[in-house]
């Protein structure tokens, strides 16, 4: 693996860790998520335009429609799987005694 690839992986890990830290620090509100997405789009827009014009990318209606449809389909599947997994974990935590609040109360009482 090249040095550039390893550097990209490490940079992505640091960005992901920073995102998690900031999201947990502010409570993960929808305003924070929206602002983060807006700033990310503004930062990536010059790079996207550079690639678009420097690589002579041909954008016809078929490519735009097919890539948009594929992205929508993948997003829908991912969102559904994520929601189903979160709901299953929630139901499991309600039925089991693995609720963090109960564990901490027991430790404080003893």
Same domain? For 4 and 22 the reply is yes
Same domain? For 50 and 102 the reply is no
Same domain? For 82 and 38 the reply is no
Same domain? For 35 and 86 the reply is no
State yes or no: pLDDT of 15 exceeds 80. yes
Domain count across the chain: 2
pTM here is 0.41
49-87 per-position pLDDT tens digit: 888 888 887 778 888 899 899 999 998 888 888 878 877
Percent of the chain residues topping a pLDDT of 90: 15
3-state helix, strand and coil shares in percent for the chain, rounded to the nearest 5 = 85, 0, 15
Region 10-25: what's the mean pLDDT? 85
Calculate the CA dihedral of residues 98, 102, 106, 108 and round it to 10 degrees: 130
Q: Pick from 4, 33, 5, 34: which is nearest to 19 by CA? A: 33
Structural domain range at position 35:
1-57
């Amino acid at each position: 693996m090249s040095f550039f690839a390893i550097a990209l992986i490490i940079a992505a890990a640091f960005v992901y860790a920073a995102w998690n830290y900031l999201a947990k620090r502010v409570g993960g509100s929808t305003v924070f998520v929206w602002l983060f997405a807006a700033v990310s789009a503004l930062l990536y827009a010059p790079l996207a335009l550079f690639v678009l014009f420097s690589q002579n990318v041909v954008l016809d209606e078929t490519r735009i429609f097919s890539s948009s449809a594929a992205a929508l389909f993948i997003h829908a599947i991912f969102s559904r799987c994520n929601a189903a997994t979160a709901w299953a974990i929630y139901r499991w935590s309600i039925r089991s005694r693995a609720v963090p609040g109960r564990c901490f109360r027991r430790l404080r009482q003893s």
